[in-house]
Amino acid sequence: MDGIILVNKPKNLTSHDIVKKIRVILNKKKVGHFGTLDPMATGLILIGIGRATKLFPFYSKLTKIYKGQIKLGYSTDTYDSYGKPTTKKCAKFPTEKEILEIIKSFEGNILQTPPPFSAKKYKGKPLYKHARENKKIKLPPNKIKIYYLNMLKYHPPFIDFETKCSSGTYIRSLAHEIGKKTGCGGHLSALQRTHTAYLNIKDSFTLEEISLMASQNKIKDFLLSLENLLPQFSKITLSEAGSNKARNGASIKPEEIQSIDFHWKKMDELSESQQIFRLFTPRGKLIALARKNLEGLLPFTVIDSRQKNPGGKGEYHAK
């Protein structure tokens, strides 16, 4: 069983809680998540199963879209409603015009510092463990991008918003900084992830739905197969000889390519990200991801590695 499940995470569960529950439901050990959601957050979380876990570097870097709510009036030590107040309560709130100006000032490329209570590590130890020991760690800010930050509704003390952001963005930090800029403090009071790039929460499943379908042996109803993953990378179908070489991570020559499915005429004109290719067998199975090299293509992430069967010449078994 290999692929990705789009899970609709409920409130008060950690991302690792979701992983553990999926392991139990599917009776699979090789399960991982492709991007953390805080316990207070709900919404779309990607869970990789089996060989799909090798694709973590690609899915973890995709853009995200969130809908959330900021509560003005005071800041907290966790930057969300689960934390303890760190400022005095304020009852005087900015006007809607002032809020709009503040929110829009965060769009574009900005520097952001992770919250003190976060899973980001310092010297091999998560920041939240340092915070619980009352140790203040000053980390250099990260470069992130806020593609847009829209105010959906302002009903003091609450700001309802939607944002599209790059990977590595902490929405709690965004809420904290907005609250700080208003002069009255603020923290994140609700958050839902609705998209990870082209993947939509509308196509996700609850844990209860996944459990029911798994018990009915309807795995294909909720599992995105390997062959349907990373559609942003062009598809190349190899010959049998090329497929066997790809399984071993060897270079693929042009004559070992049967077809190329992309919209650009010249491979040399593609951007660096577009020069990643999905390699398939003649029967349509995903083998590896590859980049161009002087000989043709060089696999750098092998999904379907195989070894020769000692008991039979020419036969292969998946690792």
Residues tagged active-site: 38
Phi, psi angle pair for 215, to nearest 5°: -65, -25
The answer to whether the Cα torsion of 13, 15, 21, 22 is positive or negative is positive
How far is residue 265's CA from residue 307's CA, in Å, rounded to a whole number? Answer: 36
Greatest C-alpha distance within the chain: 79
For residue 275, give the 3-state DSSP assignment: helix
How far is residue 223's CA from residue 4's CA, in Å, rounded to a whole number? Answer: 6
Q: Do residues 240 and 246 make contact, with C-beta atoms less than 8 angstroms apart?
A: no
The CA distances from residue 28 to 19, 43, 107, 227, in Å, are 10, 23, 41, 20
How far is residue 32's CA from residue 19's CA, in Å, rounded to a whole number? Answer: 6
Nearest residue to 288 (alpha-carbon basis) of 298, 131, 266, 2 = 298
The answer to whether the Cα torsion of 58, 62, 67, 71 is positive or negative is positive
Residue 15: enclosing H or E segment and its boundaries?
A: helix 15-26
Q: Residue type for 208, please?
A: E
Tokens at residue 285, please?
Answer: 């199975």
Q: Residue type for 101, please?
A: E
